[in-house]
Structure 1
Amino acid sequence: MYSRIHEPHACTLTDALSEWAISRPGMPWLQDSQGNALTVGQAYAGSQRFASFLCQLGVQAEERVGVFMSNSCAMVATVFGIGYLRSTAVMLNTELRSSFLRHQLNDCQLATIVVDAPLVEHIVCLADELPHLKTLVVLGDSRAAVPDHWRQVAWTDSSTCVPWEGPHPQPQDIFCIMYTSGTTGPSKGVLMPHCHCALIGLGAIRSLEITAADKYYICLPLFHANGLFMQLGTTVLAGIQAFLKQRFSASTWLADIRESGATLTNHLGTTAMFVINQPPTEQDRSHRLRASLSAPNPAQHEAVFRERFGVKDVLSGFGMTEVGIPIWGRVGHAAPNAAGWAHEDRFEICIADPETDVPVSAGQIGEILVRPKVPFGFMAGYLNVPAKTVEAWRNLWFHTGDAGMQDAQGLITFVDRIKDCIRRRGENISATEVEAVVGQLSGINEVAAYAVPAQGAGGEDEVMLALVAAEGGVLDMADIVRQVSAQLPRFAKPRYLRQMDSLPKTATGKIQRAILRQQGSAGAYDTEAEGAQ
């Protein structure tokens, strides 16, 4: 274990990796599904070399560096290398395309981006709209024609660099930026200090009662906090091994768990459902998995993982990129449907009336409000939108926009989203960004994007569009889906579409998505049923 886990205000993942590499350099740490493996010492040295490589390219401390990569040992060395340089990693979802990708690259004013070769083409097609970009560090062989005014270098060139010897980051320095979405504007960049990121892993160590005998199976993407901090960061702090899957696969999940010898893993509601929907086999209990952390954790999911797969502890939690994970389940305390209990030495939780911020009584539903007790244990704000930061911190509480309730024993249950947010496949989707893409199509006068419940018990949403045609025309739904599919990330593509004469609005002209949601998806055009992709 990292020597400073009982000093959360002083923790950084870079310091934890440095300490581990000095004490046990030959210990195996990472294996990835592409066949690569790293000892702790190799990972540390590779990260240090990559820091020097970036410095040679002209990247400076506090400068932002994009990371547009799939899970791999190389991605881990990249992120830690950026951290050691005291630069800021901008974690980009590999599904981003078109205006979604352009917004995030320009919002951060990225001059340098590290990218997997197959993804280069998605950046190149935006070349004329990226005034700040200068350098692409490419992992693998790319056939995309890069503009002459960009510099392209190979990721592997970092292997010859001398390890970085500059000052390491402090807990208050910004480790990374992750984007989170809403409905009132484009996705917002969350500024995440090193301490904030480490605090997430410290919570997992306590919640899961992790020991040196554990091993994490990581199949969620590292461009999100769950994969990068709840899982990978936890292994650094706890000094345990990890198996890193490039991409989640329900069909190989059990075999991966068994062959890797993993004892721990995390799920989202949908990934858990996909695993459960796999045909039962005689090997369902043939593994070492002792605990799984899933958010949300419906009772029917928990029962299957306990009874069919023989997982002793199935836990949940509650959090978001801005606040980390303030609420965790506990080993040995089954609490299906509930999120868990607050880590009260590190966070303060209040369930309050969403209009007045006045606390509600135990058992009553209100908005989940959070504030930190550890310095720099929260986000430092939203990038370039200070008004949104102030708005979220009304009355000196961070407003999650989520409804919950807390019983007399302190157990907290997530109930629903208060704000108009779409969550699909573990992603928060900006309705505004979806509407911007769809609204530019010929023949569409107005569009509203909103959430409808997904089928099954995954606890997540499907994207639905309400459309008003120009001049009373009739819309071709299949053609709309084909046109937007090239511009929307896969997770943001609409499942249901409905043409309407007009959209319900307030007296001030605001679309009433609550009314649209109440109407449901019955009778709407269903892209899956129609085979439109």
Structure 2
Amino acid sequence: MMTQTPSMNPTDWVLPRILAEQGRLRPAAPWVTIVGGDSLTFGDAAADVRRVAGYLAGLGVKPGDMVGLMMPNSVDLVRAWLGIGTLGAVAVMLNNELRGAFLQHQLRNCGADLVIVDASLVDAIVEAAPHVETLKRLLVPGSASGPASARPQRLSWEGWRTAAPYDGPLPRGEDIACVMYTSGTSGPSKGVLMPHAHCALYGMGQIRAMQLTHDDRFYITLPLFHANGLLMQLGATLQLGIPAVVRQRFSASEWLNDVRRYGCTVTNALGALAAFVLAQPRRDDDAQHGLRALCNAPNLPEHEAAFRERFGIRDVFSGFGMTEVNIPVWGRVGQSRPGAAGWVDREHFEVVVADPETDRAVPPGQLGEILVRPKVPFCFMVGYHNMPDRTVEAWRNLWFHTGDAATMDADGLVTFVDRIKDTIRRRGENIAASEVESAISQMPGAGEVAAFAVPSSIPGGEDELMLAIVPAAGATLTAEAVIEHADKVLPRFAAPRYVEFMSELPKTATGKVQRAVLRKRGPEQAWDRDTPSRP
């Protein structure tokens, strides 16, 4: 069993293997509890996952096959994710809010013939299906199967309950476990090929940094289609054999109530979530709970101070990572460094801060780009699925280029400063400006479109998305019509807040839109979705 002292051989770092072992060692111990919903013990989860794997095998799914997974946080998502992995197939983790061209691109890129999709999300998949030739079948939890003539064909998810348990070989650490899509920069979203060892290392780092013990209970509010919720948090609880309390969707108003009700001791926050919690009205009993540690990224000094002083949380720390590179930088319980990400995990990674033009390391304390490479096999992405050119581009000079600016002192303490790449960070998601621009430019009357980030009105609240639009000749557009179109074609996390119409966009001599000029201009003259009486 992999706990705080895992096998030294990464080929053994496989979460489905660990679940099978936990099911034998602690079958009656609680593992996953959905707030207000179902629960699983380790024994139940281990047995269910083998039946899911058997059911998928009976449907013709083979090791290495891509299987889409689009579900809210639930015990069925856990069963499906680990069932796919047990079989040696590849779970393609699809964001629940994807729709339109965003969803079509990811489905085409992964080439999955089968998608497991919750009944509440099935319409988005059905609408995308005519544009995705490879998609043939859906497994739909929470819904009866559809007519055999329907395309894609709908099959009942519930067939796993009576399926023969899978008893074949389990995957190795070097085998691909899942694909997670990340923007990271301008251009279409990229599918990160993640080996099993890579997926397990997220939780191993969390256990070490947070000094988790068998007395801990993890509160998880982040979506399980991303690495933080699924691998850092849930993966850590699986490896250590401790309970996980999972909320289907984050709620700032219920955050502290849940912590108390379920006796949670540790949790993670990402991006604006901390700001939303701290924006809740103060109460006299804010510090009356059992939460001892919070991993908060980014960890603004004012946020750490508030969590410590207002909520009485003893340890607040941070980290830095990406879907591609794991978490090469971790803070440490008991060593507060407000504003910093943490120290380099020198056991598993090499990290330098380099000049983004030359890739030469800069002196300690000087600003540069974070570059990362692994020391241990298979604890890093294998590449971007079906995008070899983007893989090579990211790996220039045998370093992975994160596109993030930071400083690093002589002791390896890294402080994240800003993003170099042209992305927008909103609601915990990286949004490629080009994807938004492409979607909005399909609107009749839209000439040129620029999407860019402006600061959130909530301190520490990441970005808000703004559009600058030059209408086509003779066209008349309204901000309300633009927003209505955006809400139809964009995921909710990519919904623009501000719209400004311009006669021309600022450009370089070579015709490239100068988003830095637009960001500096800001939203003062823009129509604001939140206060539509403005211009």
TM-score (norm: length of structure 1): 0.97
Q: Deviations over 1:60-118 (max 9, x none)?
A: 11000000000011110100000000000000000101111111111111110111111
- 1:457-472 equivalences in 2 (<5 Å): 457-458=459-460, 460-471=462-473
2:137–2:151 contact (8 Å) kept in structure 1: no
Following the alignment from structure 2 to structure 1, what is the Cα–Cα distance between the partners of residues 166 and 256?
A: 40
Deviation at 1:147, TM superposition (A): 6.0
Instruction: Quote the sequence identity (%).
Output: 53
Contact 1:111 1:133 in 2 (8 A): yes
1:208 corresponding residue in structure 2: 210
Higher alpha-carbon deviation: 194-203 or 455-464? 455-464
* Counterparts of residues 336-485 of structure 1 (less than 5 Å): 336-458=338-460, 460-471=462-473, 473-485=475-487
User: What SS class does the counterpart of residue 381 from structure 2 fall into?
Assistant: coil
Q: Distance in 1 between matches of 2:146 and 2:432?
A: 29
Distance 2:147 2:103 in 1: 19
CA deviation map 1:245-300 (0-9, x unaligned): 11101111111111111111010121111111111123312211100111101111
Structure 1 residues 56-67: aligned runs within 5 Å: 56-67=58-69
Moved more, 275-284 or 57-66: 275-284
Partner of 1:248: 250
1:302 aligned residue: 304
With over 3 angstroms needed to count, the CA separation of the structure-2 counterparts of 1:381 and 1:157, relative to structure 1, is same
Give the letter aligned to residue 33 of structure 1.
V
- Post-superposition Cα deviations, 1:478-525, rounded to whole Å, max 9, x if no partner, equal 111012201110010101111111112223222221221121122211
1:531 and 1:135 map into 2 onto residues whose CA distance is 47
CA distance in 2, matches of 1:90, 1:117: 18
Check the 8 A contact 1:8/1:374 in 2, yes or no: no
Find the partner of 2:523 among 516, 521, 524.
Answer: 521
State the alpha-carbon separation in 2 of the partners of residues 228 and 78 from structure 1. 13
Report the alpha carbon displacement of residue 58 of structure 1 after superposing the two structures with TM.
1.0
Aligned position for 2:105? 103
| Per-residue deviation, 1:531 | 7.8
Q: Structure 2: how far apart are the matches of 1:293 and 1:128?
A: 42
SS of the residue 2:140 aligns to: strand
Q: Structure 1 residue 473: deviation in Å? A: 4.4
Mapped to 1, the partners of 2:443 and 2:104 lie a distance apart of 19
**Aligned residue for 2:6?**
5
**1:14 matched residue in structure 2:** 16
Q: Which amino acid aligns with 1:519?
A: R
SS of 1:235's partner is helix
Cα distance in 2 for residues equivalent to 1:243 and 1:501: 52
Deviations 1:331-389 (A, max 9, x none): 00111111000110101110100000111111100000000011011000001110110
Counterpart code for 1:37? S
Report how many residues are paired: 532
CA distance in 2, matches of 1:138, 1:39: 23
Distance 2:80 2:533 in 1: 39
What is the TM-score normalised by the length of structure 2? 0.97
Residues 279-323 of structure 1 show CA distances to partners (whole Å, capped at 9, x for unaligned) of: 112331221110011110111111111111111001110011000
Give the partner amino acid of 1:2: M
CA contact (8 A) 1:2 1:19 kept: no
Residue 77 of structure 1 aligns with an amino acid whose one-letter code is R
- 1:505 maps to which residue? 507
Aligned counterparts of 1:494 and 1:183: Cα–Cα separation in 2? 18
Distance 2:150 2:165 in 1: 30
* Counterparts in 2 of 1:143 and 1:468: CA distance versus 1, 3 Å: farther
Q: Following the alignment from structure 1 to structure 2, what is the Cα–Cα distance between the partners of residues 379 and 309?
A: 37
User: Which residue pairs with 2:139 in the alignment?
Assistant: 137
Structure-1 separation of matches of 2:113 and 2:53: 16
**Inter-CA distance 167–525: structure 2 relative to 1 (3 Å threshold):** same
The answer as to whether partners of 2:145 and 2:156 remain within 8 angstroms in 1 is no
Q: State the partner residue of 1:317.
A: 319
Segments of 5+ residues of structure 2 without an aligned counterpart are: none
The residue that corresponds to 2:490 in the other structure is 488
- What letter corresponds to residue 181 of structure 1 in structure 2? S
Partner SS state of residue 120, structure 1: helix
Alpha-carbon RMSD: 1.6
- 8 A contact 1:106–1:132 mirrored in 2: yes
Bigger shift: residues 139-148 or 522-531: 139-148
* 1:29-44 matches, cutoff 5 A: 29-44=31-46
1: CA distance, partners of 2:72 / 2:484 = 26
Alpha-carbon deviation of 1:126?
A: 2.4
Question: Does the aligned pair in 2 maintain the 1:120–1:142 contact within 8 Å?
Answer: no
Q: In the alignment, which residue of structure 1 is the partner of 2:187?
A: 185
Q: Secondary structure at the match of 2:370?
A: strand
- Rounded Cα–Cα distance in structure 1 between residues aligned with 2:151 and 2:429: 34
Contact 2:470 2:501 in 1 (8 A): yes
